[in-house]
Amino acid sequence: MTLNKRKRSRVDTGFDAVVSCGGIEKHNVKVRNLSLKGMLCEPDHRIECIKDCSVTIVLSRSISFTIEARMIRNDEKGLALDFESMDEKAFFHLRNIVRYHSLDPDAIDKELSLPAFKPRT
C-alpha cells in the first residue's frame, strides 16, 4: 500500500490544453487529471520543456487562462506539470473546474487552508 503524499485532490478530466515551451513551441495536450497544484496529461515525447513552461486552458472562445508551470516528467506514465504561478483569474477558473469535477467540492475549499508548499528557508 502506498502512502498518498498529495496535498491537493486530483479530479479526472478529459479536456484539451496547450503547453508552451519558452513561449515558442506550442503543443496541444489531453489532460487526464487536474488539481490546484498541477496536472497530468497524456504523454507527448515532442515536449522537452526544461524551464519557462506554461499551460493554457481554453474554456470557450472568450474565456481562457494561462498558468506558469514546471515539467516534472514526460514518460510513458504521462506528462506531469507542477503549477508555479498564476493570476487571480486563472486561480478562479482552475478552482471552479476542480470543484465542478470533484465528488466533494467543499473538500477542495478546505484544502486551501492548508499550505501546499514548504516555506523556503
Question: Does residue 2 belong to any structural domain of this protein?
Answer: no
**C-alpha cell of 21?**
515551451
pLDDT of residue 117: 52
pLDDT of residue 20: 92
Domain around 82: 11-111
When divided into structural domains, the chain yields a total of 1
**C-alpha cell of 57?**
486552458
Question: Does residue 77 belong to any structural domain of this protein?
Answer: yes
Question: Does residue 92 belong to any structural domain of this protein?
Answer: yes
β-partners of residue 45 are none
In terms of phi and psi (left: phi > 0; alpha: psi -120 to 50; beta: otherwise), the region of 77 is alpha
CATH code, domain carrying 67: 2.40.10.220
Task: Look at 46 and 93; give whichever has higher pLDDT.
Answer: 93
Closest CA to 42 of 72, 10, 76: 76
Residues 105 and 85: their CA atoms lie apart, in Å, by 23
Query: What are 50-105's pLDDT values in tens digits?
Result: 667 999 999 999 999 999 999 999 999 999 999 999 999 999 999 999 999 999 88
**Which amino acid, one-letter code, is at 75?**
D
